[in-house]
């Protein structure tokens, strides 16, 4: 049984379309797990959410950007660590089709599955045990240190899953520790080159095999849209999240 894992789409519709087109051609991928941060940073929120929610083969969880936008939508306390991008999140919310809000609200923060006898955790990042049901504003882990094998083993030490899939940190991470294998497929929507990373996992009764993938796509119009739409913080976003490709 083969699954795909994507993370951190961040409002990048052409990247998401390119990956889905590639997966659809394969015919052997049974399900796709999307590990949060579908919106924020990139400007194409409505089209990205429509594409994701319209597919029956996609399971999603929320990320910190999704929940930060939701906090603004519901008038809840906003996370202090996001204060520098509040104007950007408000811009995203102002243009968001509000019919998506209840769908986003109902998404879980994690999914635990048993696939071909292998226990798998899908999350955006790890919440402390007493914070997993708290509002995003109360979560102290939204800015955890960059993953390493040692850091991940400490962070997920209370989990028994054999495969832990996460996002949040945009570079790809793939480690095998003492208790589990840790996989971050990399940010599909934020990259320093016109490629969209994702991962394939092939499950059999005896083992699972992970293959890291990259889809090449044309991102020029997408990058230009930051200027055309006068997106707040666009110079910072294009530098930090897209590697100044323009």
- At 234 the three-state DSSP class reads helix
Q: What is the pLDDT of residue 167?
A: 94
- At 204 the three-state DSSP class reads coil
Express each pLDDT in 162-208 by its tens digit. Answer: 999 999 989 999 999 888 999 999 999 999 999 999 999 999 999 99
Q: In angstroms, rounded to a whole number, what is the distance separating the alpha carbons of residues 10 and 66? A: 9
Q: What is the pLDDT of residue 134?
A: 62
Q: What is the pLDDT of residue 171?
A: 92
Please identify every stretch of the chain with a pLDDT value under 70, giving residue numbers as ranges.
Answer: 127-145
Q: What is the pLDDT of residue 147?
A: 78
**Pair 108, 121: CB distance under 8 Å:** no
Q: What is the pLDDT of residue 142?
A: 47
- Tell me the β-bridge partners of 199: 5, 212
Q: In angstroms, rounded to a whole number, what is the distance separating the alpha carbons of residues 144 and 151? A: 10
Task: Name the pairing type of β-strands 173-176 and 110-115.
Answer: unpaired
Q: What is the pLDDT of residue 226?
A: 96
Q: What is the pLDDT of residue 130?
A: 53
* pTM confidence score: 0.93
Q: What is the pLDDT of residue 176?
A: 92
Express each pLDDT in 22-34 by its tens digit. Answer: 999 998 999 999 9
């Amino acid at each position: 049984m083969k699954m795909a894992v994507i993370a951190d789409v961040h409002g990048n519709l052409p990247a998401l379309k390119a990956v889905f087109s590639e997966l659809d051609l394969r015919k052997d991928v049974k399900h796709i797990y999307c590990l949060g941060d579908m919106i924020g940073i990139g400007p194409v929120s409505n089209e990205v959410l429509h594409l994701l929610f319209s597919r029956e083969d996609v399971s999603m969880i929320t990320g910190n950007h999704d929940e930060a936008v939701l906090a603004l939508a519901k008038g809840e306390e906003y996370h202090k660590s996001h204060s520098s991008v509040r104007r950007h999140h408000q811009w995203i919310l102002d243009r968001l089709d509000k019919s998506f809000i209840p769908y986003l609200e109902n998404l879980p923060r994690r999914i635990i599955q048993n696939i071909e006898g292998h226990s798998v955790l899908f999350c955006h990042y790890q919440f402390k045990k007493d914070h997993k049901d708290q509002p995003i504003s109360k979560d102290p882990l939204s800015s955890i240190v960059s993953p390493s094998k040692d850091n991940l083993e400490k962070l997920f030490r209370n989990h028994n899953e054999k495969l832990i899939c996460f996002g949040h940190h945009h570079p790809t991470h793939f480690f095998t520790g003492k208790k589990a294998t840790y996989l971050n497929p990399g940010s599909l929507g934020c990259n320093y080159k016109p490629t969209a990373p994702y991962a394939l996992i092939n499950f059999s009764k005896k083992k699972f095999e992970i293959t890291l993938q990259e889809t090449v796509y044309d991102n020029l119009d997408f990058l230009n849209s930051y200027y055309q739409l006068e997106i707040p913080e666009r110079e910072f976003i294009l530098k930090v999240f897209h590697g100044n490709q323009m």
